[in-house]
């Protein structure tokens, strides 16, 4: 007995079958902060600006950035997996996009807004559930102090960071 399959019936069967339901999309969104915080930490550490000077091996890069050895190789490799760094023969380098947009020395640097996301907004978004339950603001006004802009203007470092995020260098 020979079993033969008609390829056209297989194609039709595949088209008619709905895709399987998986938790992939839900898990990607739920763990999205991992990728975000990895990028934001790299910007805060000025990793991309350092690599714009020259590609480096992990140990040299760790030393130049003043990082502890624990987890640093995983951190660099996570940035490779996210498509934010390239690694060739043990040397890390910026991608064309990170070189153009995340090197502080370039006029195309957009890290200022990412720095603000990391320093101000990341923590506030961690209080989203509280905001939804209470209706209270979760920004600088949460502590009952002056409003957002009054608080920013009172702290020169925060104001400088805010202005850099808005595109002023």
Q: What is the DSSP string of 28-70?
A: HHHTHHHHHHHHHHHHHTTHHHHHHH--EEHHHHHHHHT--ST
CATH architecture of 33-109: Orthogonal Bundle (1.10)
Residue of 49 and 112 predicted with greater confidence: 49
70/52 Cα distance (integer angstroms): 24
CB 44 within 8 A of CB 115: yes
Q: What pTM, to 2 d.p., does this model score?
A: 0.77
Task: Dump pLDDT digits (tens) for 60-107.
Answer: 999 999 999 999 999 999 999 999 999 999 999 999 999 999 999 999
Instruction: Enumerate the domain spans of the chain.
Output: 33-109, 112-169
Of 1-10, 23-32, 155-164, the one with minimum mean pLDDT is 1-10
Q: Which of 85, 65, 66 is nearest to 77 (CA)?
A: 85
């Amino acid at each position: 007995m020979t079993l033969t399959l008609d390829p056209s019936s297989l194609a039709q069967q595949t088209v008619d079958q709905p895709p399987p339901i998986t938790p992939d999309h839900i898990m990607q969104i739920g763990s999205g902060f991992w990728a975000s915080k990895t990028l934001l930490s790299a910007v805060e550490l000025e990793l991309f600006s350092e690599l714009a000077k020259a590609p480096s091996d992990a140990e040299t890069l760790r030393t130049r950035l003043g990082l502890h050895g624990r987890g640093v190789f995983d951190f660099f490799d996570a940035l490779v997996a996210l498509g934010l760094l390239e690694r060739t023969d043990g040397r890390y380098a910026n991608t064309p996009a990170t070189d153009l947009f995340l090197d502080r020395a370039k006029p195309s640097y957009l890290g200022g807004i990412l720095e603000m996301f990391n320093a101000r907004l990341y923590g506030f978004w961690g209080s989203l559930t509280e905001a939804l339950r209470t209706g209270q603001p979760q920004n600088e006004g949460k502590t009952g102090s002056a409003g957002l802009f009054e608080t920013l203007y009172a702290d020169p470092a925060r104001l400088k960071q805010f202005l850099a995020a808005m595109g002023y260098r």
